[in-house]
Amino acid sequence: MGKGFGAPPQNEADALGPKHDFVDKLDVWGKIQILMRTRNRSGFTLIELLIVIVIIGILVSMSIAGFGWWAETQDKKTAQSQVEALQLALEQYKSELGGFPKTDLLANSDDEEARAILLFRCLTGFLDRFGEDVDVDRRGKSFLPNKDNFVLGSREEGDLRLVTLSLEQMRGAQAPEVFLVDPWNNPYVYEFPRRDGHKGFLLFSKGPDGQASEFDSELTQTPKKEDMDIDNFPPSEPGKW
């Protein structure tokens, strides 16, 4: 019987998964060391040296690939957890302040970064949900969950720059021109009300490729999911597939 979804592992290697297999292959290095000690007395032939060099090259490539796989997996987990945290923050914001931050009142509401800046400023209390400035002495609590777990970015002369805000900046009268960025250094996409006609807010990461479909008018049917939308977080956005 083939291995289906949810099927138990057939052996210990299956149970430990591809990462265990990757580590097992690194044991080849131990065999190389034994070979080198054995051959030190009589010397290596040219062919033996070439074989050792090829094996070392393979091991280095495997190490790089293994690290890349691990890093990509961590980035995806981070994006998922951050989107979920922001979704909860927005629901709490609505519960306490009467509605979600509105992006349709922005002069440049088509600009994703402008909407992302509005999201940050509203969740941190610099603006009310209509985009109006809030005086320092009237500023409420920050709804941004564990802000230290988020990365902030700003746009300077066309280039994205990662920034860190001091406590004075967070409490200052001037709202910072920053936005929340995902693990691939792209701003989280936020919109309310949604121009595609769906209820609630739009919030997602474009994923590793930094690309996604954009629906700027009301949808009458479910749109086709393009290849660039496959790696979005959550995968249902922006077309509610």
Same domain, 91 and 203: yes
| Residue where a domain terminates, one of 43, 60, 75 | 75
Same domain, 105 and 20: no
Domain for residue 105, yes or no?
Answer: yes
Q: Which two tokens stand for residue 109?
A: 């509401």
Domain for residue 210, yes or no?
Answer: yes
Same domain, 200 and 113: yes
Maximum distance among all alpha carbons in the chain? Answer: 83
Same domain, 41 and 148: no
Same domain, 110 and 206: yes
| Distances 10 to 2, 7, 14, 110, 195 between C-alpha atoms, Å | 10, 9, 6, 52, 50
Residue 37's pLDDT band (cuts 50, 70, 90): low
Same domain, 178 and 89: yes
Same domain, 84 and 61: no
Same domain, 195 and 141: yes
| Residue where a domain terminates, one of 56, 75, 94 | 75
Domain for residue 151, yes or no?
Answer: yes
pLDDT given at position 169:
85
C-beta neighbour count of 121 within 10 angstroms:
21
Q: What sections of 26-111 are H helices per DSSP?
A: 28-39, 46-97
Range of the domain at 59: 13-75
Place of tokens 């149970």: 15
Please provide the average confidence, as pLDDT, over all residues in the chain.
Answer: 84
Same domain, 62 and 83: no
Same domain, 101 and 163: yes
Same domain, 56 and 95: no
Q: Output the domain CATH number for residue 148.
A: 3.30.700
Domain for residue 224, yes or no?
Answer: no
Residues 42-60 have pLDDT tens digits of 566 888 888 889 989 888 8
Q: For strand 189-191 and strand 202-204, is the pairing parallel, antiparallel, or unpaired?
A: antiparallel
Domain for residue 228, yes or no?
Answer: no
Q: Which of residues 11 and 178 earns the better pLDDT score?
A: 178
Residues 155-167 have pLDDT tens digits of 988 899 999 888 7
Same domain, 116 and 211: yes
pLDDT given at position 62:
82
Residues 183-212 have pLDDT tens digits of 999 999 999 999 999 999 999 999 999 999
Domain for residue 7, yes or no?
Answer: no
Residue 208 C-alpha from the chain's centroid: 7
Q: Which of residues 202 and 141 earns the better pLDDT score?
A: 202
Q: Which of residues 187 and 27 earns the better pLDDT score?
A: 187
- What mean pLDDT comes out for the span 57-64? 85
| Residue where a domain terminates, one of 46, 75, 104 | 75
Domain for residue 3, yes or no?
Answer: no
- Do residues 228 and 239 lie in contact, with contact meaning Cβ atoms separated by under 8 Å? no
- Burial-class residue 6 by CB neighbours within 10 Å (0-12, 13-18, 19+): exposed
Q: Which of residues 192 and 62 earns the better pLDDT score?
A: 192
Return the C-alpha torsion angle 215, 218, 221, 222, nearest 10.
30
- Per the structure, how many domains does the chain have? 2
Domain for residue 6, yes or no?
Answer: no
171 sits in which H/E element = helix 167-171
pLDDT given at position 214:
94
